[in-house]
Protein backbone atom coordinates (compact mmCIF):
# COMPACT_ATOMS: atom_id res chain seq x y z
CA UNK A 1 0.00 0.00 0.00
CA UNK A 2 1.10 3.56 -0.67
CA UNK A 3 2.20 5.69 2.29
CA UNK A 4 0.50 8.95 3.17
CA UNK A 5 1.75 11.39 5.79
CA UNK A 6 -0.91 13.81 7.01
CA UNK A 7 0.20 16.89 8.92
CA UNK A 8 -2.66 17.33 11.34
CA UNK A 9 -3.71 18.90 14.59
CA UNK A 10 -7.22 19.61 13.30
CA UNK A 11 -10.54 17.77 13.28
CA UNK A 12 -10.38 17.84 9.48
CA UNK A 13 -7.06 15.99 9.49
CA UNK A 14 -8.47 13.34 11.80
CA UNK A 15 -11.50 12.79 9.55
CA UNK A 16 -9.33 12.78 6.45
CA UNK A 17 -7.08 10.12 7.98
CA UNK A 18 -10.11 8.00 8.81
CA UNK A 19 -11.37 8.19 5.23
CA UNK A 20 -8.01 7.32 3.66
CA UNK A 21 -7.05 4.55 6.12
CA UNK A 22 -7.58 1.04 4.83
CA UNK A 23 -6.82 1.90 1.21
CA UNK A 24 -3.51 3.58 2.15
CA UNK A 25 -0.99 3.34 4.97
CA UNK A 26 -1.75 6.58 6.74
CA UNK A 27 0.36 8.22 9.43
CA UNK A 28 -0.86 11.36 11.15
CA UNK A 29 1.63 13.87 12.50
CA UNK A 30 0.87 16.07 15.50
CA UNK A 31 3.01 18.89 16.86
CA UNK A 32 2.38 17.70 20.41
CA UNK A 33 0.86 20.94 21.70
CA UNK A 34 -2.38 19.52 23.09
CA UNK A 35 -2.03 17.62 26.35
CA UNK A 36 -4.75 15.06 25.65
CA UNK A 37 -5.38 14.92 21.91
CA UNK A 38 -8.49 13.00 20.91
CA UNK A 39 -7.91 9.49 19.55
CA UNK A 40 -6.95 9.76 15.91
CA UNK A 41 -7.80 6.25 14.70
CA UNK A 42 -4.58 5.83 12.69
CA UNK A 43 -0.90 5.57 13.67
CA UNK A 44 0.33 8.89 15.03
CA UNK A 45 3.78 10.43 15.31
CA UNK A 46 4.28 13.39 17.62
CA UNK A 47 6.67 16.38 17.64
CA UNK A 48 8.45 18.67 15.20
CA UNK A 49 10.60 17.31 12.38
CA UNK A 50 13.38 19.87 12.71
CA UNK A 51 12.39 22.30 9.97
CA UNK A 52 11.87 21.68 6.27
CA UNK A 53 15.11 19.67 6.03
CA UNK A 54 13.97 17.38 8.84
CA UNK A 55 10.61 16.86 7.20
CA UNK A 56 12.25 16.16 3.83
CA UNK A 57 14.44 13.52 5.51
CA UNK A 58 11.37 11.98 7.15
CA UNK A 59 9.58 11.81 3.79
CA UNK A 60 12.55 10.02 2.21
CA UNK A 61 13.34 7.71 5.16
CA UNK A 62 9.72 6.60 5.47
CA UNK A 63 9.11 6.31 1.73
CA UNK A 64 6.15 8.65 1.87
CA UNK A 65 4.24 8.69 -1.44
CA UNK A 66 1.99 11.66 -0.67
CA UNK A 67 2.19 14.48 1.87
CA UNK A 68 -1.06 16.13 2.92
CA UNK A 69 -0.96 19.43 4.79
CA UNK A 70 -4.17 19.43 6.84
CA UNK A 71 -2.90 21.75 9.56
CA UNK A 72 -4.79 24.75 10.89
CA UNK A 73 -4.79 27.76 8.51
CA UNK A 74 -2.81 29.79 11.09
CA UNK A 75 -0.05 27.16 11.40
CA UNK A 76 2.01 28.93 8.75
CA UNK A 77 5.47 27.57 9.60
CA UNK A 78 4.63 23.92 9.19
CA UNK A 79 2.69 24.65 5.98
CA UNK A 80 5.69 26.49 4.51
CA UNK A 81 7.95 23.62 5.60
CA UNK A 82 5.59 21.09 4.04
CA UNK A 83 5.76 22.72 0.61
CA UNK A 84 9.55 23.12 0.80
CA UNK A 85 10.18 19.59 2.05
CA UNK A 86 7.93 18.02 -0.58
CA UNK A 87 9.84 19.87 -3.30
CA UNK A 88 13.24 18.88 -1.88
CA UNK A 89 12.26 15.22 -1.38
CA UNK A 90 10.38 15.15 -4.69
CA UNK A 91 7.20 13.89 -3.03
CA UNK A 92 3.78 15.06 -4.26
CA UNK A 93 1.97 17.31 -1.80
CA UNK A 94 -1.62 18.49 -1.47
CA UNK A 95 -3.43 20.49 1.18
CA UNK A 96 -6.77 20.76 2.87
CA UNK A 97 -7.44 24.50 2.95
CA UNK A 98 -10.81 25.34 4.40
CA UNK A 99 -12.18 28.57 2.87
CA UNK A 100 -12.23 31.56 5.20
CA UNK A 101 -15.51 32.89 6.57
CA UNK A 102 -16.88 35.79 4.56
CA UNK A 103 -18.34 38.89 6.14
CA UNK A 104 -22.17 38.74 6.12
CA UNK A 105 -24.67 41.61 6.34
CA UNK A 106 -24.97 42.57 10.01
CA UNK A 107 -21.43 41.47 10.92
CA UNK A 108 -19.47 44.12 12.84
CA UNK A 109 -15.99 42.92 11.84
CA UNK A 110 -12.70 44.74 12.11
CA UNK A 111 -9.91 42.98 10.27
CA UNK A 112 -6.60 42.95 12.18
CA UNK A 113 -3.13 41.67 11.39
CA UNK A 114 -2.50 40.16 14.82
CA UNK A 115 -3.76 39.79 18.36
CA UNK A 116 -1.52 42.75 19.29
CA UNK A 117 -3.32 45.00 16.81
CA UNK A 118 -6.64 43.93 18.32
CA UNK A 119 -5.35 44.87 21.78
CA UNK A 120 -4.73 48.44 20.59
CA UNK A 121 -8.09 48.73 18.84
CA UNK A 122 -10.08 47.57 21.87
CA UNK A 123 -9.37 51.03 23.26
CA UNK A 124 -8.93 52.46 26.76
CA UNK A 125 -12.52 52.05 27.96
CA UNK A 126 -12.97 48.80 29.92
CA UNK A 127 -14.76 46.19 27.85
CA UNK A 128 -15.88 42.60 28.23
CA UNK A 129 -13.91 40.59 25.68
CA UNK A 130 -14.24 36.99 24.56
CA UNK A 131 -10.91 35.58 23.42
CA UNK A 132 -11.31 32.51 21.28
CA UNK A 133 -7.56 32.11 20.80
CA UNK A 134 -4.78 29.65 21.47
CA UNK A 135 -2.48 30.05 24.44
CA UNK A 136 0.30 31.64 22.38
CA UNK A 137 -1.87 34.51 21.17
CA UNK A 138 -3.21 35.49 24.58
CA UNK A 139 -0.12 37.17 26.01
CA UNK A 140 -0.53 40.55 24.22
CA UNK A 141 -3.79 41.06 26.15
CA UNK A 142 -1.84 41.43 29.40
CA UNK A 143 -0.99 44.92 28.10
CA UNK A 144 -4.70 45.86 28.35
CA UNK A 145 -5.58 44.84 31.90
CA UNK A 146 -8.54 47.26 32.10
CA UNK A 147 -10.75 44.77 30.22
CA UNK A 148 -12.55 41.72 31.57
CA UNK A 149 -11.65 38.62 29.59
CA UNK A 150 -13.52 35.41 28.91
CA UNK A 151 -11.04 32.87 27.55
CA UNK A 152 -11.99 29.56 26.01
CA UNK A 153 -9.27 27.02 25.28
CA UNK A 154 -8.70 23.28 24.90
CA UNK A 155 -5.87 23.15 27.46
CA UNK A 156 -5.58 25.23 30.65
CA UNK A 157 -3.86 28.59 30.15
CA UNK A 158 -0.73 28.09 32.26
CA UNK A 159 0.31 30.37 33.78
CA UNK A 160 -2.92 32.35 33.74
CA UNK A 161 -2.86 35.83 32.17
CA UNK A 162 -1.53 38.59 34.42
CA UNK A 163 -4.80 40.55 34.36
CA UNK A 164 -7.20 41.11 37.27
CA UNK A 165 -10.38 39.91 35.57
CA UNK A 166 -10.17 36.74 33.49
CA UNK A 167 -12.58 33.82 33.37
CA UNK A 168 -11.42 30.57 31.83
CA UNK A 169 -13.51 27.95 30.10
CA UNK A 170 -12.01 24.64 29.02
CA UNK A 171 -13.86 23.23 26.03
CA UNK A 172 -13.24 21.53 22.72
CA UNK A 173 -15.43 22.32 19.71
CA UNK A 174 -17.67 22.02 17.84
CA UNK A 175 -19.65 24.89 19.36
CA UNK A 176 -23.25 25.71 18.44
CA UNK A 177 -24.61 29.18 17.71
CA UNK A 178 -27.21 28.80 20.48
CA UNK A 179 -24.57 27.75 23.01
CA UNK A 180 -22.22 30.57 22.05
CA UNK A 181 -25.04 33.11 22.08
CA UNK A 182 -25.92 32.06 25.63
CA UNK A 183 -22.24 32.36 26.57
CA UNK A 184 -21.93 35.88 25.12
CA UNK A 185 -25.12 36.99 26.85
CA UNK A 186 -24.31 35.42 30.22
CA UNK A 187 -20.92 37.15 30.32
CA UNK A 188 -22.13 40.45 28.83
CA UNK A 189 -19.52 40.23 26.06
CA UNK A 190 -19.15 43.33 23.84
CA UNK A 191 -16.12 42.32 21.76
CA UNK A 192 -14.63 39.09 20.39
CA UNK A 193 -11.15 38.46 19.06
CA UNK A 194 -11.06 35.48 16.72
CA UNK A 195 -9.11 33.86 13.96
CA UNK A 196 -10.85 33.21 10.68
CA UNK A 197 -10.74 29.44 10.96
CA UNK A 198 -13.45 28.68 8.40
CA UNK A 199 -15.83 25.72 8.66
CA UNK A 200 -18.79 25.21 10.97
CA UNK A 201 -17.16 23.91 14.16
CA UNK A 202 -16.21 27.33 15.54
CA UNK A 203 -18.60 29.53 13.55
CA UNK A 204 -21.17 29.65 16.37
CA UNK A 205 -19.58 32.66 18.04
CA UNK A 206 -19.45 34.58 14.75
CA UNK A 207 -23.14 33.94 14.02
CA UNK A 208 -24.07 34.72 17.63
CA UNK A 209 -22.08 37.97 17.53
CA UNK A 210 -23.97 39.01 14.39
CA UNK A 211 -27.31 38.32 16.06
CA UNK A 212 -26.33 40.28 19.19
CA UNK A 213 -24.50 43.13 17.40
CA UNK A 214 -21.20 42.28 19.11
CA UNK A 215 -18.01 43.64 17.54
CA UNK A 216 -15.56 41.01 16.24
CA UNK A 217 -11.87 41.59 15.64
CA UNK A 218 -10.89 39.04 13.01
CA UNK A 219 -7.21 38.20 12.72
CA UNK A 220 -6.29 37.91 9.05
CA UNK A 221 -5.01 34.60 7.76
CA UNK A 222 -1.29 34.28 7.15
CA UNK A 223 -0.13 33.62 3.59
CA UNK A 224 0.25 29.90 2.84
CA UNK A 225 2.08 28.11 0.03
CA UNK A 226 0.14 27.35 -3.08
CA UNK A 227 -0.48 23.58 -3.19
CA UNK A 228 -3.26 21.70 -4.98
CA UNK A 229 -5.97 22.01 -2.33
CA UNK A 230 -9.31 20.58 -1.32
CA UNK A 231 -11.79 22.86 0.45
CA UNK A 232 -13.07 20.06 2.67
CA UNK A 233 -12.34 16.47 3.65
CA UNK A 234 -14.13 14.81 0.73
CA UNK A 235 -12.53 17.02 -1.89
CA UNK A 236 -9.11 16.32 -0.38
CA UNK A 237 -9.80 12.56 -0.45
CA UNK A 238 -10.52 12.86 -4.18
CA UNK A 239 -7.28 14.81 -4.71
CA UNK A 240 -5.34 12.16 -2.79
CA UNK A 241 -6.88 9.35 -4.84
CA UNK A 242 -6.02 11.23 -8.01
CA UNK A 243 -2.44 11.91 -6.89
CA UNK A 244 -1.88 8.24 -6.01
CA UNK A 245 -3.76 6.69 -8.92
CA UNK A 246 -1.63 3.92 -10.50
P1 LIG B 1 3.45 26.37 13.31
O2 LIG B 1 3.77 27.66 13.98
O3 LIG B 1 3.14 26.40 11.86
O4 LIG B 1 4.62 25.32 13.50
C5 LIG B 1 5.68 25.50 14.42
C6 LIG B 1 6.50 24.22 14.44
O7 LIG B 1 5.76 23.17 15.09
C8 LIG B 1 6.77 23.67 13.06
O9 LIG B 1 7.87 24.32 12.45
C10 LIG B 1 7.02 22.22 13.37
O11 LIG B 1 8.28 22.02 13.98
C12 LIG B 1 6.00 21.94 14.45
N13 LIG B 1 4.72 21.45 13.92
C14 LIG B 1 3.58 22.14 13.65
N15 LIG B 1 2.60 21.35 13.23
C16 LIG B 1 3.11 20.09 13.22
C17 LIG B 1 2.58 18.82 12.88
N18 LIG B 1 1.31 18.67 12.49
N19 LIG B 1 3.40 17.74 12.99
C20 LIG B 1 4.69 17.88 13.42
N21 LIG B 1 5.23 19.07 13.75
C22 LIG B 1 4.46 20.16 13.65
O23 LIG B 1 2.26 25.61 14.07
P24 LIG B 1 1.30 26.10 15.27
O25 LIG B 1 0.51 27.26 14.80
O26 LIG B 1 2.12 26.20 16.49
O27 LIG B 1 0.33 24.84 15.37
C28 LIG B 1 0.79 23.63 15.94
C29 LIG B 1 -0.24 22.55 15.70
O30 LIG B 1 -1.49 22.93 16.26
C31 LIG B 1 -0.49 22.24 14.23
O32 LIG B 1 -0.60 20.83 14.13
C33 LIG B 1 -1.82 22.89 13.92
O34 LIG B 1 -2.56 22.21 12.93
C35 LIG B 1 -2.51 22.83 15.27
N36 LIG B 1 -3.44 23.96 15.49
C37 LIG B 1 -2.99 25.23 15.37
C38 LIG B 1 -3.87 26.26 15.55
C39 LIG B 1 -3.43 27.69 15.37
O40 LIG B 1 -4.25 28.58 15.56
N41 LIG B 1 -2.17 27.96 15.04
C42 LIG B 1 -5.21 26.01 15.87
C43 LIG B 1 -5.64 24.68 16.00
C44 LIG B 1 -4.73 23.65 15.81
P45 LIG B 1 9.58 21.60 13.11
O46 LIG B 1 9.98 22.80 12.34
O47 LIG B 1 10.56 21.16 14.14
O48 LIG B 1 9.15 20.47 12.21
Position 129 confidence tier, pLDDT thresholds 50, 70, 90: very high
Which of 67-71, 100-104, 120-124, 155-159 has the lowest average pLDDT? 155-159
- 141: helix, strand or coil: helix
Position 28 confidence tier, pLDDT thresholds 50, 70, 90: very high
Q: State yes or no: pLDDT of 36 exceeds 80.
A: no
Whose CA is closest to atom 34 on ligand 1?
A: 71
CA of 31 to the centre of ligand 1 (A): 5
- What are phi and psi for residue 73, nearest 5 degrees? -60, -15
Q: State yes or no: pLDDT of 88 exceeds 80.
A: yes
Give the residue-averaged pLDDT of 53-80.
98
Give the residue-averaged pLDDT of 216-231.
98
Whether the CB of 15 sits within 6 Å of ligand 1: no
Give the residue-averaged pLDDT of 98-113.
98
pLDDT given for residue 113 in this prediction: 97
The C-alpha atoms of residue 160 and residue 157 are separated, in whole angstroms, by: 5
Cross-sheet strand order for the sheet of 128-132 = 108-112, 215-219, 191-195, 128-132, 148-153, 166-170
Ligand 1 atom nearest residue 137's Cα: 40
Q: State yes or no: pLDDT of 37 exceeds 80.
A: no
Whether the CB of 98 sits within 6 Å of ligand 1: no
pLDDT given for residue 146 in this prediction: 98
pLDDT given for residue 209 in this prediction: 98
Whether the CB of 27 sits within 6 Å of ligand 1: no
Q: What share of the chain is helix, strand, coil (3-state, %, to 5)?
A: 35, 25, 45
pLDDT given for residue 136 in this prediction: 82
Give the residue-averaged pLDDT of 125-141.
94
Give the residue-averaged pLDDT of 120-147.
95
Whether the CB of 196 sits within 6 Å of ligand 1: no
Residue 214 burial class via C-beta count within 10 angstroms: exposed 0-12, middle 13-18, buried 19 and up: buried
Whether the CB of 147 sits within 6 Å of ligand 1: no
**Cβ-Cβ contacts under 8 Å for 167 (sequence gap 6 or more):** 148, 149, 150, 151, 187
pLDDT given for residue 5 in this prediction: 98
pLDDT given for residue 42 in this prediction: 93
Ligand 1 atom nearest residue 7's Cα: 18
CA distances from 163 to 73, 78, 138, 181, 243 (A): 29, 32, 11, 25, 50
The C-alpha atoms of residue 116 and residue 207 are separated, in whole angstroms, by: 24
Q: State yes or no: pLDDT of 56 exceeds 80.
A: yes
- 94: helix, strand or coil: strand
Whether the CB of 10 sits within 6 Å of ligand 1: yes
Give the CB-side neighbour count of residue 124, counting CA atoms within 13 A. Answer: 0
pLDDT given for residue 39 in this prediction: 76
DSSP per-residue codes, 169-219:
EE--S---HHHHHHHHHHTT--EEEEE---SSTTTHHHHHHHHHT-EEEEE
Position 38 confidence tier, pLDDT thresholds 50, 70, 90: confident
pLDDT given for residue 141 in this prediction: 98
Amino acid sequence: MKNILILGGTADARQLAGKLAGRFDVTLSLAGRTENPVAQGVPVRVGGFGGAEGLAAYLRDNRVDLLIDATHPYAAHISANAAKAAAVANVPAIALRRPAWERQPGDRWTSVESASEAVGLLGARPRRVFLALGRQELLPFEAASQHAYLIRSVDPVEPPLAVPDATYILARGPFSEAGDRALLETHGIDAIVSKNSGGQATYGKIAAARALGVEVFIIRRPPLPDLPSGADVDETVRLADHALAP
